[in-house]
Structure 1
Amino acid sequence: MTLPDVAERLDVSISKVHQMIRDRELLSVRRDGVRRIPADLVANETVLKHLPGVLNLLSDNGYDDEAALRWLYEPDDTLPGATAAAALSGDQAREVKRRAQAQAF
């Protein structure tokens, strides 16, 4: 999703979306020169509950936004939905956080 699309879905200003990215509440990457946010990280009218914590853990472990995006969407058959991003929206979110924390070791 583009940043204006996210702002509309969350019913916030575009500057608030930029602030959420700076505060690591959301993850954005450039595709074809346009900053985008994966749509499944924005659940209905909110950001996935555990996403900010996971993004901060990954950032603390040296992951930039591109690396964090790859980690979130890397296939993992041991998680529901087969990716960490998909598991964040279910009852395995704590397991995803645990795995993100373990990246430091």
Structure 2
Amino acid sequence: MTEKDNGAGDLVGDWMTLKEAGTALGVGPNRVKQYMRDHRLLGVKRGGEVMIPAAFISGGDVVKGLPGTLTLLADSGFSEEEALEWLFTPDDTLPGTPVQALVENRGTEVRRRAQALGAF
């Protein structure tokens, strides 16, 4: 989690603090940190505070397919910032962004693409 996010922050839109994310998930901030260590969630420092994209949480839970996608991206050598940029960059072939596809339960294609990134 670094302070510099190379513009990925502009793509994300709405952010949540650890406390806000914990409230949305029904857990404490320390559990949210554990989710980040386990690649269930991803956060970066913004303005000196760890922030999580609000799009990663829906209906009181982590968006289905996000943890597996984050693990694939990490295994492919993506930094947190690079993973955020990939997840929030529009892809005309999906269509939309990978995170939108996950929210819309189209995670198989997203994970397939993330897995292919590691092949190169």
Instruction: Return the TM-score normalized by structure 2.
Output: 0.83
Matches within 5 A, 1:47-58: 47-58=62-73
Distance 1:39-1:86 versus aligned 2 partners, 3 A rule: same
Q: 2:23 aligns to what SS in structure 1?
A: helix
Q: In the TM superposition, what whole-angstrom CA distance separates every residue of 1:61-93 from its partner, at most 9, and x where no partner exists?
A: 00011110000011111224x100110012321
Instruction: Return the TM-score normalized by structure 1.
Output: 0.95
* RMSD (Å), alpha carbons: 0.9
Higher RCO structure, 1 or 2 (CA under 8 Å, sep 6+): 2
Partner of 2:44: 29
Q: Sequence identity of aligned pairs in percent?
A: 46
Q: Are positions 1:78 and 2:111 aligned together?
A: no
Q: Distance in 2 between matches of 1:34 and 1:91?
A: 30
Structure 2: runs of 5 or more not aligned? 1-15
Give the 4+ runs in structure 1 shifted more than 6 A: none
Q: Distance in 2 between matches of 1:6 and 1:73?
A: 19
Q: In the TM superposition, what whole-angstrom CA distance separates every residue of 1:50-71 from its partner, at most 9, and x where no partner exists?
A: 0000000000000011110000
Structure 1: runs of 5 or more not aligned? none
The match for 1:92 among 97, 100, 106 is 106
Aligned residues: 104
